[in-house]
Amino acid sequence: MSSIGKLMKQASRIQQQMEAVQLALASRTVETTSGGGAVKITARCDGTVAAIKIDPQAVNPADAQLLEDLVLTAVNSALAKAKEIANAEMGKVTGGLNMPGLI
């Protein structure tokens, strides 16, 4: 088999592995909290937020800005953790090659 043929076969195998990892990442989740647990965020490792839980005691209509800040902090933390996991898993497939746009 020519070297081009081998390269194409290898590229196809890597693509299949990446697709499998992406499917697995879509079901894998991370959780973070902010405000001492007042806000809990669950994010999927595909970069989406799966759930937001807010302790009813944290809800004070007079202090909506604080709650918004807590939610934003927890969401950003969860997405950062999820991205870290996704990058590590995809790195296993790509052998550490930087392949922008894949996740």
Q: Give pLDDT tens digits for 28-62.
A: 888 999 889 998 999 888 888 889 999 988 888 88
CA angle 42, 37, 77 (to 5 degrees): 45
Which residues, in sequence order, are bridge partners of residue 44?
29
So what's the pLDDT on residue 103? 47
Residue 1: pLDDT over 80: no
Report domain extents, the chain: 3-94
pTM of the model: 0.62
Please check whether residue 41 is in contact with residue 33, taking contact to mean a CB–CB distance below 8 angstroms.
yes
CATH class of 3-94: alpha beta
What CA–CA distance (Å, rounded) separates 98 from 103?
Answer: 11
The predicted-structure confidence for 11-21, as pLDDT tens digits, reads as follows 888 888 888 88
